[in-house]
Amino acid sequence: MTGPEVVTQRKAAVSVRGLTKTFGEGEYAVTALDAVEVDIRENEFFTLLGPSGCGKTTLLRLIAGFELPTHGVIALEGRDISALPPHRRPINTVFQSYALFPHMTVAENIGFGLRMLGKPAAEIRQTTERMLALVQLEAMAGRRTDQLSGGQQQRVALARALAPAPKVLLLDEPLAALDLKLRKNMQLELKSLQAETGITFVFVTHDQEEALTMSDRIAVMKSGRILQIGSPRDIYDRPTHRFVADFIGDINILDGTIESLDNGIASVRLKDGTAVLAQPGTATAARPGAASIAIRPENVRLAQAGETPTVSGTVENVVYFGAATNLHIRLATGEQMVIRNPGAVEEGRYRPGATIGAVLPPELIRVLE
């Protein structure tokens, strides 16, 4: 089910086993999560990535305790917490809507968790001050939360959730409401905050770029299931599913048939009869029969003079971006392929209609599930 993972010694902060959540009954039943399995390690920045409606929020709400599982178990540091109410779980949430208490000041909001834990007043004051400094809102301590900008409210929500030093911090699309520039800043701040505090972050986003830049590991979700878990490089370079490959970055996908398997390397025959070698990421992907192969545009190379091309096609379009050039070619199979930065591109070198050959390095081609 999951791709190749780097084995580490860190133990699991949150373990999720066979987690299923169904809303409604009978014909109106919606399965928001379907037998989800995941281990989130201590001190890691873990991201749940997937399109809207795939169940990311539901998974967070189950971990926080706002919903109870239909089936399955959630464990925190090895202890089953599935049945504990939210206030008994040492886990805090940064809500998408921030959910700041409008009848309390910024400082009272931040101190709320510690107050509920029965900490002495001096400690609450100290920690609140430290948190205010951490998110650079010292000057706002006495303000009401509706007097703050969106970015400032965001930081208060973050400080409030961090103040009780939870074992795990859950963040549900915390940056979605911010404008682009602020979002970029907050991405960096969040990342360094996570490193500083050493708290396990479970971060939800539907933005693949955000996931790639911030995460230690990413779980890609679709329709209530986790398709692949891995480091940003795993996910980007070695996608296991067609959905994952499509969802993250640009990729060329060609249809074919697996003819044989040798030492874990598949020989795939494309629709025009060309045979290519490719790497299946999972056992399911390695099954003989119809298969899709994928290669990133930047991994395709133009054939040099005298070199045998893997595939050949006709140039349809040359798109110049400044930093990169994309060459769109139509293959003999009838499928389209994009080649990024095909060597040094002199102006006017490739014209629509020209026939060219491309080399696909076998180690960079993936067979998808």
Partner 1 sequence: MADPATAVASPRSAPRRRRMVRDLKAMPGFTAMAWITIVALYLPIMVLVAFSFNENRSVVLWTGFSLDWYAKALENDGIRNAAWVSVKVALFATVISTIVATMAALATTRTRKFTGQGLVYGIINQPLMIPEIVTAIATLSLFALVKKLTGLNGIGYLMMAHAAFCIPFAYMPIRARLETMTLTLEQAAADLYAPPFKVFTLVTLPLLGPGIVSGAMLAFVVSLDDVIITLLIAGPGETTLPIYILGAIRRGITPEINAVSTILVAVSVLLVMLLFFVQRRMQR
Ligand X SMILES: Nc1ncnc2c1ncn2[C@@H]1O[C@H](COP(=O)(O)OP(=O)(O)O)[C@@H](O)[C@H]1O
Binding site for partner 1 (CB under 8 A): 64-66, 85-87, 91-93, 95, 97, 99-103, 112-113, 116-117, 146, 160-161, 164
**Closest-CA residue to 96 (of 39, 32, 150, 42):** 150
> What's the min distance (Å) between Cβ of 55 and ligand X?
4
Q: With contact defined as beta carbons under 8 Å apart, do 197 and 162 qualify?
A: yes
Site size toward Mg ion, by CB under 5 A: 1
Q: With contact defined as beta carbons under 8 Å apart, do 218 and 49 qualify?
A: yes
Nearest CB to partner 1, comparing residues 82 and 257: 82
Nearest CB to partner 1, comparing residues 154 and 240: 154
Q: Select from 15-23, 52-60, 148-156, 174-182 the region that touches Mg ion (CB under 5 A).
A: 52-60
Which tokens hold the place of 86?
Answer: 């939210």
Q: What is the CA radius of gyration of the chain?
A: 25
Nearest CB to ligand X, comparing residues 32 and 159: 32
47 binds Mg ion, rule: CB under 5 A: no
> What's the min distance (Å) between Cβ of 115 and partner 1?
9
Q: Please, is 253 exposed, middle or buried when counting C-beta atoms within 10 Å of its C-beta (0-12, 13-18, 19+)?
A: middle
Nearest CB to Mg ion, comparing residues 61 and 301: 61
> What's the min distance (Å) between Cβ of 37 and ligand X?
17
325 binds Mg ion, rule: CB under 5 A: no
57 binds Mg ion, rule: CB under 5 A: yes
CA angle 260, 249, 274 (to 5 degrees): 30
Determine the longest span between alpha carbons in the chain, in angstroms: 78
> What's the min distance (Å) between Cβ of 214 and partner 1?
22
> What's the min distance (Å) between Cβ of 278 and Mg ion?
35
> What's the min distance (Å) between Cβ of 60 and partner 1?
11
Nearest CB to ligand X, comparing residues 54 and 266: 54
- Give SS3 for 335: coil
Judged by beta carbon distances under 5 to 8 A according to partner kind, the member of partner 1, Mg ion, ligand X, none in contact with residue 54 is ligand X
CA angle 141, 142, 148 (to 5 degrees): 75
Element (DSSP H or E) covering residue 58? helix 56-64
Cα torsion angle, 118, 122, 123, 124, sign: positive
Nearest CB to Mg ion, comparing residues 62 and 360: 62
What one-character-per-residue DSSP string does 233-251 give? HHHHHS--SHHHHHHSS--
Which parts of this chain interact with ligand X (CB under 6 A)? 23-24, 30, 32, 50, 52-58
Binding residues (CB under 5 A) for Mg ion: these are 57
